[in-house]
Amino acid sequence: MRAFFQQSNFTDGALALALSPALTPTGIVNHPVFFSGFALYPQIIARGLLVLADITSTNYFQYKPEFQKDPVLSAQGDRVRAECFSACNGVYARLDLLREGLDGEIYRGTTNVDIGIGLRQALAKVNSKDRLHLNIGDQGLVTRHIEDKGNHLKGLDKIILQRPVQMPNRWIRALGNIAEIHKNMKPVFTIKGPQAQMFVSTLPNVTSKNQSGWLVLSRSGIKLMPRSDTHSVYISGLHRLNALKRLITNIISLTFYCLQNNEQGPCMIEVSLLGARLTLSLTAEAWQGYSGEGVLLTSLVSSAEQKDSKIVNDLLQFDALINKEQLSNASALEDYRIERALAYLAVCGKLGFDAYEGSYFHRELPEDPNRVLKDNPRLIGAHKLVDRIEKIDEMTWIVNSTDDSYRVSIPTNQLNCNPQCTCSWYLKNQQKKGPCKHVLAVQIKEGIYEL
């Protein structure tokens, strides 16, 4: 079990963020250090961390404060990313601290970061004129205590208690789903300066009733409308953006994203800040959670992806931007196999997707060889149905389940055509949450993965 050996702390202009044992290019490090130097925009870092703390401790669907979980922190050489989900799993947040906002060397690795109640209270007092020394790692915290109080390491060990890392298993499943969703996002419109700040100032309270509709850009700013427009983004639960009020005076611009097909679905808001970017992503409906989307199930069907993913995974070095061409050259795998391997690694939580950069990024989470099956019961059900399939023609199969028989159609010779099934699950969800178990069973039996 992983634990924090120290607590994050803020004293005398020094912010020390405590980390749990980290996965790094050299293996597991019990006392990692990701950064030590000065933050050029202290208030933005402080407020950005508070936004993450607000979100991870809030259930937006049925509002109630909940115990805060520990954000995932990845150091990637030229930036540090902190990621978390809301308690209801319907809001994803990522704070990117960029090199231009940090004066010091950034190392590489992934772990969890402690943002406790005491630290939150201290961060709220940071202002834009403060000079902030930032230590991301336990060693930085120990060093600061020694400088300020003259403590010895032996004494510190007696007074600091270990605290278990709080990271729900469903976050890993949700991280995989969010990567595929963001990969299919496109920017729709951007608002800057006073207009962006005005929009944030009018956001409803976190306890407000659900407000949903289409965000439409007008001369005066953004309006919430009941119908879509040429350049509009659907949002369910406007109150789920409330945490942005923490940054209202720091916002440079807001960019709104939707799915490539412009359908009513999940949306994403990208907040531009000095030396940082904040990304919030919301599920299509306020009651939905990202851990249940299942958009990457097709990537798990073929054993070939699993083999290729091991080759590709060995080449990753906690990069902020994944270069597919370099991976192809280094692995001798074709481009399409690289793409499939990356999709498989994403569903395992090892890759995220940065829509601003248009690229995957590498994070490394603890290995669990049984996680894929445990997190995807539809895949388990599909494997049980493989021997119960009758082929009707080149594009049609009958899957004999325990409760009934279902007709699966997969137009493999047509572009942009999704598989179809006569089961009630498919009729309800279509392709919004990935394929049903009957479609997956046919894909496994026939080796149909190029969809």
Give the 3-state DSSP-derived string for 92-157, with helices as H, strands as E and coil as C: EEEEEEEHHHEECCECEEEEEECCCHHHHHHHCCCCCCCCEEEEEEHHHHHHHHHHHHCCCHHHHH
- Composition of the chain by helix, strand, coil, percent to 5: 35, 30, 35
CB 379 within 8 A of CB 394: no
Specify the pTM: 0.82
**pLDDT beneath 50, residues of the chain:** 139-161, 415-416, 450-451
The one-letter amino acid code at 52 reads L
Taken in order 336, 341, 344, 346, the sign of the CA dihedral is negative
The one-letter amino acid code at 194 reads P
DSSP state of 331: H
Taken in order 151, 39, 94, 91, the sign of the CA dihedral is positive
Closest of 282, 298, 279 to residue 240, by C-alpha: 282
Tokens, residue 177: 């789903």
User: Exposed/middle/buried for 182, CB within 10 Å: 0-12, 13-18, 19+?
Assistant: buried
Closest of 328, 306, 302 to residue 315, by C-alpha: 328
pLDDT reported for residue 296: 56
Closest of 188, 189, 178 to residue 353, by C-alpha: 178
CB 132 within 8 A of CB 45: yes
Question: Alpha-carbon dihedral of residues 171, 172, 175, 179, nearest 10 degrees?
Answer: -160
Closest of 180, 61, 94 to residue 432, by C-alpha: 180
pLDDT reported for residue 381: 87
CB 15 within 8 A of CB 135: yes
Instruction: Tell me the per-residue pLDDT of 30-69, one tens digit each, with 9 for 90 and over.
Output: 889 999 999 999 999 999 999 999 999 999 988 877 888 8
CB 155 within 8 A of CB 328: no
Tokens, residue 400: 């004999």
Please give the biggest Cα pair distance in the chain: 79
pLDDT reported for residue 138: 62
CB 311 within 8 A of CB 130: no
In whole angstroms, what is the distance from residue 15 CA to residue 10 CA? Answer: 4
Contacts for 265-269: CB closer than 8 Å, 24+ residues apart? 265/234, 265/432, 266/181, 267/233, 267/234, 267/235, 268/182, 268/185, 268/355, 269/241, 269/244
CB 138 within 8 A of CB 6: yes
Instruction: Tell me the per-residue pLDDT of 213-262, one tens digit each, with 9 for 90 and over.
Output: 999 998 888 999 999 888 899 999 999 999 999 999 999 999 999 998 77
